[in-house]
């Protein structure tokens, strides 16, 4: 991407911000695979900007929730903020922005479909938010959040603090491991009027938990609860 070309102007229009330091946006959009191929380590700043953007998005989303949901307690606010800032939500927003079209990728990453990889898009959006913060402060980031995260905000607010173990596990896996859990029905038994189901949830080939219930959905929810309990127990000192 030419740091002063029409591509930058198009993305700036979508973001609602003209960069005073265009090199920040250039760095945010430069993947480390491109920096490695070109031998220009000075462009490999996207990861540092991701780090900043992650913190910035957490603060801006928390600010929005506190301002708009005065009836929610801290636990609910934390759950909803997690839904707004996990990798899956970031990838969806990045795709709406068509951010993949603006990325600077190495040839190998380009050929492997990097422009539509969820984890790569999520990281790139965080880097862009970090660049926005450094160039214009909180204002531009708030504008991007209100405009481009609108659908995510509406869905997360509607769900609120409802018990949703499958959603919580999905968010946690996307955030910590950049991958979604997979559910399998492992057993179905009982007469037609009283069926009984057993489901398991996997991360790759690793069986994370099992659950049972009177419906497939209930069994999957209980499997997700089991997986969450297992993750929590591993994290305790």
Domain spans, the chain: 6-159, 165-235
From the list 126, 135, 152, 220, the catalytic residue is 126
pLDDT at 60: 97
Q: Residues 6-159: name the CATH superfamily.
A: Ribonuclease III domain (1.10.1520.10)
pLDDT top residue among 26 and 168: 26
pLDDT of residue 36: 59
207 confidence band (pLDDT: 50, 70, 90): very high
Q: What is the mean pLDDT of residues 217-226?
A: 88
| pLDDT reported for residue 163 | 59
Q: What is the pLDDT of residues 106-138, one digit of tens each?
A: 777 777 776 888 888 999 999 999 999 999 999
pLDDT confidence of residue 41: 57
Query: Residue 1: its pLDDT value, please?
Result: 44
Please give the average per-residue pLDDT across 195-209, as a whole number.
Answer: 91
Picking from 154, 155, 173, the residue whose alpha carbon sits closest to that of residue 165 is 173
Q: What angle do CA 30, 34, 38 make, to 5 degrees?
A: 120
Q: Fold match between 6-159 and 165-235?
A: no
Architecture of the domain made up of 165-235:
2-Layer Sandwich (3.30)
For the segment 88-109, what is each residue's pLDDT rounded down to a tens digit? 889 899 999 999 899 887 777 7
Active site residue 71: no
pLDDT at 180: 82
Catalytic residue among 26, 45, 54, 135: 54
pLDDT at position 162, please?
Answer: 59
Answer for the pair 222, 169: CB distance below 8 angstroms, yes or no: no
Query: Is 162 known to be catalytic?
Result: no
Q: State the pLDDT at residue 2.
A: 43
Residue with the bigger pLDDT between 30 and 33: it is 30
User: pTM (2 decimals)?
Assistant: 0.66
Q: What pLDDT is attached to residue 38?
A: 61
pLDDT at position 44, please?
Answer: 56
The whole-angstrom separation of Cα 31 and Cα 51 is 14
Q: Which long-range contacts (CB under 8 A, 24 or more apart) does 155-160 make?
A: 155/83, 156/80, 156/83, 156/84, 156/89, 157/68, 157/69, 157/80, 159/80, 159/83, 160/72, 160/76, 160/80
Is residue 17 predicted with pLDDT exceeding 90? yes
Please state, rounded to an integer, the average pLDDT across all residues of the chain: 85
User: Does position 53 have pLDDT exceeding 70, yes or no?
Assistant: yes
């Amino acid at each position: 991407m030419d740091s002063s070309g029409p591509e930058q102007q198009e993305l700036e229009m979508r973001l609602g911000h003209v960069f005073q330091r265009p090199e920040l946006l250039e760095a945010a959009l430069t993947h480390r695979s491109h920096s490695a191929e070109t031998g220009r380590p000075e462009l490999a700043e996207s990861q540092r900007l991701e780090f900043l953007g992650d913190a910035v998005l957490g603060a801006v989303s928390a600010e929005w929730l506190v301002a708009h949901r005065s009836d929610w307690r801290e636990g609910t606010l934390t759950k909803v903020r997690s839904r707004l800032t996990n990798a899956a939500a970031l990838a969806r927003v990045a795709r709406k922005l068509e951010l993949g079209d603006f990325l600077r990728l190495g040839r190998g990453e380009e050929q492997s479909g990097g422009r539509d990889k969820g984890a790569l898009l999520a990281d790139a959006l965080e880097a862009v938010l970090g660049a926005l913060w450094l160039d214009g402060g909180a204002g531009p980031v708030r504008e991007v959040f209100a405009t481009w995260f609108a659908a995510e905000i509406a869905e997360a607010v509607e769900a609120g603090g409802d018990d949703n173990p499958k959603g919580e596990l999905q968010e946690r896996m996307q955030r910590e491991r950049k991958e979604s859990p997979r559910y399998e029905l492992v057993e179905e038994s009982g007469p037609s009027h009283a069926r009984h189901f057993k489901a398991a949830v996997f991360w790759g080939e690793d069986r994370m938990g099992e659950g049972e219930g009177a419906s497939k959905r209930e069994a999957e929810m209980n499997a997700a609860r089991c997986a969450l309990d297992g993750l929590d127990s591993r994290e305790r000192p």
